Structure 1
Amino acid sequence: MAARRLPALAQYRTDAVTRRLCAGAHLDEDFARDVDVELTADGLRATGLSLGIDLVALARHARAAVRRTDLRDRRLAWICAVGVWAAVPLLLYAMVTARWGLAYAAAALVVLAYGSAWWLVHQAESRSRTAALAVEHGADRPADLAPAVEPEAEQRLLETKRANVVPYTASAERTNPFVGSGSKLKEMVWQPIDVSRPAEDPAGNGGKLPVKPFDAVDLHTYVAREMEHIAGLKGLQVRNRLYVMGTNVPYVGPELLPDRLRRPRAQIPKQLVQAGLMQSGAGMRTYLSLVRAGEGGRAIVSMHLRARLHHPSLTWEVSAYGIPPLQARFDRVNRLPLDGFERWWSLVSFATSRTGTALLKASSRRMQRASEQRRRARALEKVRREIDKRHALYDYGAVDSIRERVADWEQLGFSERTDSQDFLQRLQQGVLIATERFLKDHNIDTSSYDQAQQVINTHTYTFQGSVQAGVIGDNGTVNHHNGPGAQAGHSGQGRGTP
């Protein structure tokens, strides 16, 4: 059948969310500093999953933004010390002694300091906006538009993109061990399937076919290989991952934690991942993670599967999660005037309204940042000393992910909601079809599967909001008590610990 020829419509960029976050780092000083600390600073906790974000690009742009604001504040602090605090006593002395020449000189020094500070604030904001617009609308890859950070940090972030192990904080064991995947939409164990009966011989002689032995690893491997084609979801990310409770990370071995005084690794030998599937360990289980991003990565759905194969029955443990679009504050880059009088006036207004505060508080901001850096270093050193000397048990698990933390359910539109419902239904149906084909390939009688499928197909999904404060109702609908937006907190929340 010939393909229909139609005009092409404009599409979202596949890296739209990465570009929006990189632009946000240039326009939001607090966000840039939080990201820089989380992604590149020394620490012990695992880094949350990237889930549609180029963490290397984000780390680079955050570092560039931090360096720009640090340079601005250093210069402002020097101007304030020389031009303001030195001029004030000189002006008072001139007024007391009636030496008006000194008074005029002191006043001129203050005006010169303010003018220099105004220009610094103006130029820093102009460069920030230029960088934000370049990464949002430019043709180059976001990672190519900012200088690299430390090679060790970039290597670790690249490994996180292909992570096959996820340490999660111990407190999440009671609620959501799939840290970074967003809000729980559905959690269930499907109807058991009898896999002990051999299929009838198609030759029609009343005999039975010999059952081909298989295990959970074989089933996971088959589903992982066939899911994208069966579900019809191009770009589906499929990976087996070992989820490990943060306090149990040392027990996995040096493959995960080579050094107890450093962060755990994001990749381990696949044999360890398979071992967590065959028989779960203490706070260690392997799941097949299916992740699908919507248009431009604005919304993300994931389904985490675990085959529970205990002869004579097979069941699937299924958990569905969703992440909505970014918070509205990251839309600022699209509201910036691009050129002409509007851009000029916007920068002048910004510098005029911010210069006084920026000049007078530059020194206090620098001291506060230095104090916070020392506090983090002392806290980290204390924890490392307790681990090394006292053999203290430390929680290496990730708390969340950047993508999850900057999402807002109130930004979820009709298109994202319906697309996400379609993705989840396709994933569920794909798992069922793959399971049936796998059982038939291994000469298993699928009559029990057919009965279970009728029950499983009643499970539906409604992608409509955070359920941290709600409950799952009939057919997977989400009932809210406190409304959406529970994940829309400040980007730096909970980032002050090692």
Structure 2
Amino acid sequence: MKAGRELPTLFQYGEEWTSRWLSASAHLDEEFARATAIELTEDRIRALGPSLGVDLVAVARHTRLAVRRTNLRDGLLAVLFTAGAGYLAVLVHGILAGPVEASLGRSLLGLVGVLAASWGLVLVVEHRARVLALKVIALGGPPPEGLAPPLDPGLEERLREQERANVAPYHEDAERTNPFVGSGERFQERVWHPIDISKPANASGGGKLSIIPFDVLDLHAFVEQEMGNIAGLEGLRAAHRLYVRGPMTLHAGKDLLPDRLRPPRAVIPEDMVQAGLARPGLGMRTYLCLERVGDSGRVIVCMHLRARLQHPSLTWEVAAYVVPPLRDSFMRVRTLRLDPFGRWWTLFTFTTGAFLPLLFKVPARLLRRAWDKFLRRWDLGYARWVIGKRHIEYDYGATGSIRAEAAEELEHIEFSDSTDALDFLQRLQRGVLTATEQFLKAHHVDTRSFDQAQRVITHHSYTFQGPINGPGIYGDHGTFNLPGGAPSPSPEPTKP
């Protein structure tokens, strides 16, 4: 923006947008709160998938708080249900055995009192949940993790370590669909056109320069360092991550799996990550992960790169993924009325419609939770028994992540988010090509082969056509077309 130009500030959230909405949803969506609390806070043996752009500590705090509140509600409802059942039994017995007005009156009054107490309990709990949800998303309010009590320090440290993970064990089944767990939906996977790196560049005074030797580690380190300096890529997150197939976790060593009966670590020594570049193991490969976050963290574009350097050629393995914004169900807090009358009226109507099902179904609900908890502990205990006694391989890999599972389907992505994603993908592709060219020139490699390969690569660019609604279609030559018309052909490459 031109220096000295003053413009008004438009409404916007920071990158904590996703964390705020997920934390708020925990107070309004009991099913999500329980599933997320189990995922983040319960004992486990499998790895957690990377949740890009999410403050896991904040989300874990709010899900734990929401679960404890509903547990307290159901515990009190269970007491009221027992009392109500007793009053009802006395009332029915009195009617059948012969009316005793005093006894019938007390039983009827007690039954009404149970219903009134249940209604009031549900109203208070729901009111508290809505107040906290609104506080979490308040513009300019405190960070979401400050609005809920802290968890065990060891647990929070594990979650913070997960946010800076440089290794990601993935489940065996993900190898066929998306080994980059947590990176969203697959947009494109390609191996770029090979580049001849055997010819030296011409010297300015004539003759040939001597090629400066390099390996794949040098190339990756240069691209990682320079990507953030390339125009149009401000705010890019670039880091290397070792992806390990779940059953191979055991063979990666103590640095990744110090205890076979506990989940793998999320951060390992850097030399192990580099080893996955120089000498990939069976089911162990390191990728340069480029992550670009859109406005307010709504959409995230991930590009996973791996150089294939086998003299005399170089090529890039490229996998592009998109994490769409959260589903509309996580935006329920936006529909809460804020005017005094509307706030209490909607709360009154919700409580009136919900308290009887909550009261009458509380025994079944508590039994189901106890049974599910028993099954989880049984499965975990059995897995540890099998690992410890039979010494067989176990799949420690993650199957997904909280952020990716809460996202909208890619085919339903909105216009502004889709154009942001396409713009980011094109800029990332251009940035990788620019950094690669700079690296080759710095090492005195003739770049004529690179120029030819670049024309082929950019010919297969990402395009966006058609309206935003309806199922997406993957077109030819790397295009991504949405319905509304036939995909137009990619432009012809520019002639040299």
TM-score, normalisation: structure 1? 0.92
Give the match for residue 235 of structure 2.
235
Match of 2:169, SS state, is strand
Give the match for residue 266 of structure 2.
266
How far, CA to CA, are the matches of 2:439 and 2:362 in structure 1? 65
Deviation of 1:233 (Å): 2.0
How far, CA to CA, are the matches of 1:2 and 1:141 in structure 2? 32
How far, CA to CA, are the matches of 1:214 and 1:178 in structure 2? 28
Aligned with 1:146 (options 142, 148, 163): 148
Deviation of 1:359 (Å): 1.1
Amino acid at match of 1:193: I
Query: Are the structure 2 counterparts of residues 226 and 347 from structure 1 closer, same or farther at C-alpha, using a change threshold of 3 Å?
Result: same
Amino acid at match of 2:274: Q
How far, CA to CA, are the matches of 1:274 and 1:133 in structure 2? 45
Deviation of 1:142 (Å): 0.6
Match of 1:263, SS state, is coil
Give the match for residue 27 of structure 1.
28
Match of 1:80, SS state, is helix
Give the match for residue 136 of structure 1.
137
Aligned 1:249-328 pairs, distance under 5 A: 249-328=249-328
Q: Provide structure 1 residue ranges, at least 5 long, that are not aligned to the other structure.
A: 482-498
Does the aligned pair in 2 maintain the 1:185–1:463 contact within 8 Å?
A: no
Match of 2:265, SS state, is coil
Question: Residue by residue, what CA displacement relative to the aligned partner does 1:68-105 show, whole Å, maximum 9, x if unpaired?
Answer: 000000001001111x1111121012212211211111
The answer on 1:355 being equivalent to 2:355 is yes
Query: Are the structure 2 counterparts of residues 384 and 332 from structure 1 closer, same or farther at C-alpha, using a change threshold of 3 Å?
Result: same
How far, CA to CA, are the matches of 1:30 and 1:143 in structure 2? 21
Amino acid at match of 1:68: R
Does the aligned pair in 1 maintain the 2:464–2:482 contact within 8 Å?
A: no
Deviation of 1:392 (Å): 2.0
Does the aligned pair in 2 maintain the 1:306–1:317 contact within 8 Å?
A: yes
Give the match for residue 365 of structure 2.
365
Query: Are the structure 2 counterparts of residues 479 and 310 from structure 1 closer, same or farther at C-alpha, using a change threshold of 3 Å?
Result: same
Q: Which stretch shifts more, 18-27 or 335-344?
A: 335-344
Deviation of 1:2 (Å): 5.5
Does the aligned pair in 2 maintain the 1:326–1:411 contact within 8 Å?
A: no
Aligned 1:403-442 pairs, distance under 5 A: 403-409=403-409, 412-442=413-443
Question: Residue by residue, what CA displacement relative to the aligned partner does 1:436-472 show, whole Å, maximum 9, x if unpaired?
Answer: 1001111111111111111111122247999xx9873
Question: Residue by residue, what CA displacement relative to the aligned partner does 1:334-361 show, whole Å, maximum 9, x if unpaired?
Answer: 1101241111111111111111111111
Give the match for residue 164 of structure 2.
162
How far, CA to CA, are the matches of 1:9 and 1:101 in structure 2? 70
Aligned with 1:184 (options 156, 167, 186): 186
How far, CA to CA, are the matches of 2:23 and 2:463 in structure 1? 31
How far, CA to CA, are the matches of 1:340 and 1:463 in structure 2? 45
Deviation of 1:401 (Å): 0.9
Does the aligned pair in 1 maintain the 2:51–2:404 contact within 8 Å?
A: no
Does the aligned pair in 2 maintain the 1:328–1:411 contact within 8 Å?
A: no
Give the match for residue 494 of structure 2.
none
Does the aligned pair in 1 maintain the 2:170–2:399 contact within 8 Å?
A: yes
How far, CA to CA, are the matches of 1:165 and 1:181 in structure 2? 14
Amino acid at match of 2:165: A
Deviation of 1:325 (Å): 1.1
How far, CA to CA, are the matches of 1:9 and 1:260 in structure 2? 53
Does the aligned pair in 2 maintain the 1:327–1:411 contact within 8 Å?
A: no
Deviation of 1:13 (Å): 2.5
Deviation of 1:473 (Å): 2.1
Aligned 1:459-478 pairs, distance under 5 A: 459-462=460-463, 472-478=474-480
How far, CA to CA, are the matches of 2:66 and 2:119 in structure 1? 19
Question: Residue by residue, what CA displacement relative to the aligned partner does 1:463-488 show, whole Å, maximum 9, x if unpaired?
Answer: 7999xx9873213234689xxxxxxx
Deviation of 1:157 (Å): 1.1
Amino acid at match of 1:160: Q
Give the match for residue 214 of structure 1.
214
Amino acid at match of 1:90: V
Amino acid at match of 1:102: S
Deviation of 1:31 (Å): 0.2
Question: Residue by residue, what CA displacement relative to the aligned partner does 1:226-249 show, whole Å, maximum 9, x if unpaired?
Answer: 112214222111110010000100
How far, CA to CA, are the matches of 1:470 and 1:426 in structure 2? 22
Question: Residue by residue, what CA displacement relative to the aligned partner does 1:96-122 show, whole Å, maximum 9, x if unpaired?
Answer: 221121111111000000010101000
Amino acid at match of 1:67: R
How far, CA to CA, are the matches of 2:414 and 2:365 in structure 1? 39
Give the match for residue 493 of structure 2.
none
Amino acid at match of 1:92: V
Deviation of 1:183 (Å): 1.0
Query: Are the structure 2 counterparts of residues 355 and 308 from structure 1 closer, same or farther at C-alpha, using a change threshold of 3 Å?
Result: same
Give the match for residue 346 of structure 2.
346
Question: Residue by residue, what CA displacement relative to the aligned partner does 1:408-450 show, whole Å, maximum 9, x if unpaired?
Answer: 1365221111111111001000000100100111111111111
How far, CA to CA, are the matches of 2:122 and 2:308 in structure 1? 60
Give the match for residue 44 of structure 1.
45
Deviation of 1:270 (Å): 0.6
Q: Which stretch shifts more, 431-440 or 457-466?
A: 457-466
The structure 1 segments of at least 4 consecutive aligned residues displaced by more than 4 Å after TM superposition are: 462-466
Deviation of 1:382 (Å): 0.5
Match of 1:330, SS state, is helix
Amino acid at match of 1:101: A
Amino acid at match of 1:195: I
Aligned 1:387-406 pairs, distance under 5 A: 387-406=387-406
How far, CA to CA, are the matches of 1:157 and 1:42 in structure 2? 13
Deviation of 1:9 (Å): 3.1
Give the match for residue 98 of structure 1.
99
Q: Which stretch shifts more, 209-218 or 125-134?
A: 209-218
How far, CA to CA, are the matches of 1:385 and 1:37 in structure 2? 21
How far, CA to CA, are the matches of 1:407 and 1:240 in structure 2? 24
TM-score, normalisation: structure 2? 0.93
Match of 2:403, SS state, is helix
Match of 1:166, SS state, is strand
How far, CA to CA, are the matches of 1:335 and 1:479 in structure 2? 33
Does the aligned pair in 1 maintain the 2:183–2:322 contact within 8 Å?
A: yes
Does the aligned pair in 2 maintain the 1:169–1:245 contact within 8 Å?
A: yes
How far, CA to CA, are the matches of 1:265 and 1:81 in structure 2? 46
How far, CA to CA, are the matches of 2:207 and 2:102 in structure 1? 114
Q: Provide structure 2 residue ranges, at least 5 long, that are not aligned to the other structure.
A: 484-496
How far, CA to CA, are the matches of 1:354 and 1:473 in structure 2? 48
Does the aligned pair in 2 maintain the 1:195–1:314 contact within 8 Å?
A: yes
How far, CA to CA, are the matches of 2:85 and 2:390 in structure 1? 50
Amino acid at match of 2:462: Y
How far, CA to CA, are the matches of 1:85 and 1:258 in structure 2? 53
How far, CA to CA, are the matches of 2:42 and 2:155 in structure 1? 8
How far, CA to CA, are the matches of 2:89 and 2:358 in structure 1? 21
Match of 2:214, SS state, is coil
Give the match for residue 486 of structure 1.
none
